[in-house]
Amino acid sequence: MRYAKGNAANSLLYILGLGVAITLDRQMEFKGGTAFLVALLPVLPILWMIYLIGRYFAEEQVDYLRYRAMLASVIGRGFVLAIGSFWGFSKPFGLVVHVPGWLAVPIWALGMGLGQAWINQRDRAGDGE
């Protein structure tokens, strides 16, 4: 429960930091250290989210719950790697448009969510044994 609350708060901070950073970037021209600090606004919650996930993996006492969380995380990383690689190889051929790098976190979260849904469905069907 602590992990879920921490990630919910971090998700809100990420969205807020991303919105503020994008808005400031569009309205002002930052350079040097100030630009670096503005860019860090959405990154700090991401770093804390990564820490929380690692702490959850280390502290979870039920092996099966830890396994499910790790599998969902791997599925999320797989989404980022597969989509990012496809995009990277397709862009030079003019097949896709440029996509901002900050989309990696939402794609990872989407992949994790889909992974968790798949794990739940698999377990309900009895295929997870």
pLDDT for residue 35: 86
pLDDT-based confidence at residue 129 (cuts at 50, 70, 90): low
Query: What does each C-alpha distance from 34 to 14, 19, 30, 100 come to in angstroms?
Result: 19, 17, 6, 20
Per-residue DSSP letters for 107-124? HHHHHHHHHHHHHHHHHH
Give this prediction's pTM. 0.78
Same domain, 52 and 67: no
Same domain, 69 and 109: yes
Same domain, 4 and 24: yes
7-67-102-31 Cα dihedral, nearest 10 degrees? 70
Averaged pLDDT for residues 2-30: 84
pLDDT for residue 127: 60
Are 57 and 69 a contacting pair, CB within 8 Å?
yes
Percent of the chain predicted with pLDDT > 70:
98
Contacts of 79 (CB under 8 A, 6+ apart): 107, 108, 110, 111, 114
Q: Which two tokens stand for residue 108?
A: 């990872």
Has residue 27 got a pLDDT over 90?
Answer: no
Distance from the Cα of residue 31 to its chain's centroid: 27
Q: Is 96 helix (H, G, I), strand (E, B) or coil?
A: coil
End-of-domain residue from the set 29, 44, 59: 59
Summarised one tens digit per residue, pLDDT across range 46-103 is: 899 889 889 999 999 999 999 999 999 999 999 999 999 999 999 999 999 999 888 9
Mean of per-residue pLDDT scores for the chain? 89
Same domain, 72 and 122: yes
φ/ψ of 80, rounded to 5, equals -60, -45
Same domain, 71 and 110: yes
Has residue 42 got a pLDDT over 60?
Answer: yes
Same domain, 70 and 101: yes
Are 2 and 27 a contacting pair, CB within 8 Å?
no
